[in-house]
Amino acid sequence: MNARVIVVGIVLVGLAIAFFFGMATIAPKSNDPAAMMQTVGTVSGVVGALGIVMIIFGVLRKKR
């Protein structure tokens, strides 16, 4: 296992979740909350998916 890649993946997933819920508290103040949350959801989904892929590669790859 490559622990550094796994830790970075976990941090990315955590940041994506925190970003989504943090922006959800700000969304009602926006001019177009639906469009804002759609963009925030897309960004959070991409970052979260990247984190999950990093976790999987970290678990599957072996250190030299």
The torsion angle over the Cα atoms of residues 54, 58, 61 and 64, rounded to 10 degrees, is 120
Q: Calculate mean pLDDT across residues 43-57.
A: 96
In the prediction, which pLDDT does 63 show? 66
Query: Domain total for the chain?
Result: 1
pTM: 0.84
In the prediction, which pLDDT does 2 show? 86
Residues recorded for the chain = 64
Q: Calculate mean pLDDT across residues 22-51.
A: 94
What confidence category does residue 1 fall into, taking pLDDT thresholds of 50, 70 and 90?
Answer: confident
| Structural domain range at position 9 | 3-60
2 or 1, greater pLDDT: 2
In the prediction, which pLDDT does 61 show? 81
Quick one: which of 58, 24, 64 has its CA closest to 44?
24
Residues 6+ apart with CB under 8 A from 59: 1, 6
